[in-house]
Amino acid sequence: MWLNSVVSLLPLAILALALPSKDCEHQVKEAVVPPRGWTIFGPAPPDHIIKLRIALPQSNFRALEEQLYAISDPYHERYGAHLTKEEVEELVAPHPESVDSVTDWLSSHGIGEGDISRSPAGDWLTIKVPVSVVETMLDTKYHIWKHTASGEYIVRTTSYSLPKNLLEHVDLIQPTTMFGTFRKLKSTIHSVTAADSQIQSQHSPPIVDLATGVTVDASCNTTITITCLKEIYNAVNYTPSAHVGNSVGITGYLGEFANRADLQTFYADQVPAAAAANSTFNFISVAGGLDPQDPDDAGGEANLDVQFAFGLSFPVPSTFYSTAGSPPFIPDSGTPTDTNEPYTDWLDFILSHPNPPLAISTSYGDDEQTVPESFARRACAGFAQLGARGVSLTASSGDGGVGDGDPDPATQECLTNDGQNRTQFIPGFPASCPFITAVGGTVFFPERAVSFSGGGFSNYFARPAYQDEAVKGFLKALPKGTYSGLFNPNGRGIPDVAAQSDFFRVFIGGKPFSIGGTSASSPTFIGFVALLNDGRLKKGLPSLGFLNPLLYSKAVSGFNDITTGHNPGCGTEGFNATKGWDAVTGLGTPDFGKLLKLVT
């Protein structure tokens, strides 16, 4: 009798083992509290197409990280021995078992190999499927969510599940729980304003910084030009080459387009040699990014970035990347596809590229808390891969001081998005990624911290070893109990460095404007990184690659320490710029002459 019972149960057991993944018991993979500021507008249309990205665990990322730190440490024997694209991909490739398990799961939902786009390393899978299918796959329910402040809409869920047998084979899936408001980091405090057609001559004598001996034209306290930046940062007499294998790049998103005619006008105004050479940038479209050249389409952010990054580094070959898409979904427009943050499309593209620019700046980002930690970590891992290949990456630190960027103190609540509504300083992402060089802002000469300079400490990423000593010194000097509970003292400190960030003379639609924000600081700093790479390449040395271990060690003496100013926000005065590293201006601003000697 007992034997007959066992025999009769065997087919059921075999059937259970043979069931496709879609019939297995699901378990929650990730869940978030509905974030503050977002409300449900209605159910997501069943036929709405979602571009779903699935991250498989990277089999040997720890080894990649170890190698990245070795080749980025100026005192290590392997310094500068950057990895090839293929070596990086081998380290982040998923385990075959993960590939097979996820492929079988997709197949059980009718998604064949021809429907799957795989990254070169195979660690990201992308499929386009209707909401109705995604809801079944992830045992969830999508809604259209509306952002109260901006009026924008996105299609998201607050939790999703996976079959239990898949949990260890998937790191994350998006778009699901990401409610970011990816945005330009042009300051909302110092907005774009029209400028005089000619730079106003100053009858005042040049300004001398008694601490450094640097002399700067008096006009630089009201208008920042290429000449001003070269004077302030000790690069007046340096001449780079166009023929040593150097390169520099700028990323563009959210319908921001760089205008070539404006670049020529800018060059005529500030870089005569570039104007004479009719110099321009190489354009690359990412995911259908456009390149309109009508003056009405010229973007203030894009023009600021390319004019100053490429103006400083001329004649270094330059590239502007135009990445299509933005997160908001328009309920009544028939939008065909809902996407992630556009910078992940750019990251996919650039990692697949055999020869990315050696120095790249971005001036866009999110409040860190609006980006799920799992997603932030995977995007950050992508930045690490670029660093391992010899690419230097900079990002603006943000324009909200220690806050969330709201210029109105009455509404700048700085509340957490975890359902507890605690007051907390708001770090930015991707500036909080330890594999990126975050650039804060200064103003005037002699320099002081600009009030909107984003700074603080990550709640996702622990403080990396390269900045441990510097940040500990800053924290130790803080009066006991300062902002207790408002920031994570063990988090990655932001920013790493700083540069001028206000009164930039930019041409938009043929007319000059004055622009401020750390969106100016990052392309400025990357311009000087390109010049440093030029100096190294001329001597047969490799590119600088991931900068931070160098900046906090051998190169620390190559910075102008900023010791005045602060970055208010969240109803506080924020942090003070102080001697040494601080959470307003980082290590300070570059002295190109000193840095060149230190890195060559």
Binding region for Ca(2+): 561-562, 580, 582
Q: How far is CA 519 from CA 140, 473, 486, in A?
A: 38, 28, 26
DSSP reduced 3-state for 318: strand
Helix, strand, coil percent content, the chain, rounded in steps of 5: 30, 20, 45
Distance in angstroms (rounded) separating the CA atoms of residues 4 and 1: 5
Q: Calculate ∠ Cα 250-498-317, nearest 5°.
A: 25
301 a catalytic residue = yes
Considering the candidates 59, 322, 519, 522, report the single residue annotated as catalytic. Answer: 519
Residue in the block written with tokens 């402040």 = 149
Q: Calculate ∠ Cα 437-404-325, nearest 5°.
A: 70
Contact 584, 575 (CB under 8 A): yes
Binding site, annotated residues: 561-562, 580, 582
Helix (H) or strand (E) holding 282, with range, is: strand 282-286
Distance in angstroms (rounded) separating the CA atoms of residues 375 and 124: 12
Considering the candidates 73, 305, 368, 496, report the single residue annotated as catalytic. Answer: 305
Considering the candidates 301, 345, 366, 368, report the single residue annotated as catalytic. Answer: 301
Query: Which of 580, 368, 587, 375 shows the shortest CA–CA distance to 498?
Result: 587
- Cα-Cα-Cα-Cα dihedral sign, residues 220, 224, 225, 227: positive
Contact 65, 83 (CB under 8 A): no
Where helices occur in 139-282 by DSSP H, the ranges are 226-232, 260-270, 272-276
Query: Which of 524, 522, 542 shows the shortest CA–CA distance to 534?
Result: 542
Name every residue whose Cβ is closer than 8 Å to that of residue 586 and which is 6 or more positions away in sequence: 438, 439, 440, 455, 493, 494, 495, 496, 497, 498
418 a catalytic residue = no
Within 10 Å of residue 594's Cβ, how many Cβ atoms?
17
Distance in angstroms (rounded) separating the CA atoms of residues 229 and 589: 11
Structure tokens at 1: 């009798």
Contact 161, 27 (CB under 8 A): yes
Query: Please, is 302 exposed, middle or buried when counting C-beta atoms within 10 Å of its C-beta (0-12, 13-18, 19+)?
Result: buried
Distance in angstroms (rounded) separating the CA atoms of residues 279 and 272: 10
- Annotated catalytic residues are 301, 305, 519
